[in-house]
Amino acid sequence: MKKKRRKKKRKLLAPILIFLLVIAAGAFVAVKVFTVKHVVVKGNERYEDEAIQEWVLNDEYSWNTLYVYLKYQFQEPAVIPFIDTMEISMKPPHTIEIQVYEKGLLGYVYLESLGQNAYFDKDGIVVETSSEVIEGLPRISGLSVDAVVLYEPLPLQDKQLLKNLLTLTQTLKKYEIVPEQIAYSEDKTYRLEYGSVEALLGSAQNVSDKVLRLSYILPKLEGMSGRLHLEGWTENTTDISFEKRE
């Protein structure tokens, strides 16, 4: 009977030992093989690769690719200004890939009461507030905005004004002639500021066509100072003049 019991124990012990060996081998491979040697960052324009890496590889176990990958399958990366989300993937055994999706910004309004800039997207939604000034985005002046709510539209009483503003900013971005500032006046006209050159667009009527003409003319005014008048441009009246400053 004792011999039978010993044989039975040995039969039960063998699979347990095999299981433990497999676990130990797996742990050894995970620790020794899955080490971070390369980090690839894609889609980032506002932050350097090194900054993104620091935000993602942010704890004492982040030297391990398998750990980093599994970690971000169960939790979201840190909230970072101007970044919508990040996707973390692994290319075994040594590479972590970080795909960055930045918030699509069109411009910003300065809130004097808060000392902050309110950044909005293509739908006019306020997606970020910050004291930081991002190059390549126009500041919109002349709007009556004292406070904003994140993830809600710019609080402009005139809904047509917001629609016109979005059309203008999107068209400027399309033709890659984004100004430093878009000044909106009480008479419902727009002035674009490009350093020493001002482009007067007039009202929002025919604004897309005016911006198209501006994209042809602006490169020719490099190094010059003055005002470009497009206020009176229509399909039938194509008068455009440049008032040069000495």
For the chain, give every residue range classified as CATH 3.40.50.
107-244
Give dist(CA 200, CA 218) in Å, integer. Answer: 12
Res 1: pLDDT: 52
φ, ψ at 121 (rounded to 5°): -105, -170
The tokens for 147 are 């406070």
Which of 111, 119, 124 has the alpha carbon at shortest distance from 137?
A: 119
pLDDT in tens, the chain (246 residues): 544 455 545 555 556 545 555 555 455 545 556 888 999 999 998 899 999 999 999 999 888 898 899 999 999 998 888 999 999 999 988 899 999 999 999 999 999 988 999 999 999 999 999 999 998 999 999 998 989 999 999 999 888 999 999 999 999 999 999 999 999 999 999 999 999 999 999 999 999 999 999 999 999 999 999 999 999 888 887 788 999 987
Tell me 145's DSSP state: -
Q: Which CATH number fits the domain 38-102, given the four candidates 2.40.160, 2.30.30, 3.10.20, 2.60.120?
A: 3.10.20
Tell me 77's DSSP state: P
Q: Roughly what angle, to the nearest 10 degrees, separates helices 207-217 and 159-174?
A: 30
Res 23: pLDDT: 56
The tokens for 18 are 């095999």
For the chain, give every residue range classified as CATH 3.10.20.
38-102
What architecture (CATH level 2) is domain 107-244? 3-Layer(aba) Sandwich (3.40)
Res 209: pLDDT: 93
* Residues 207, 244 contacting (CB under 8 angstroms): no
SS3 assignment for 152-171: CECCCCCHHHHHHHHHHHHH
Res 25: pLDDT: 45
The tokens for 108 are 């910003």
Res 234: pLDDT: 83
Residue 139 neighbours by CB under 8 Å, 6+ apart: 107, 108, 109, 110, 117, 133, 180, 181, 182
In this prediction the pTM is 0.78
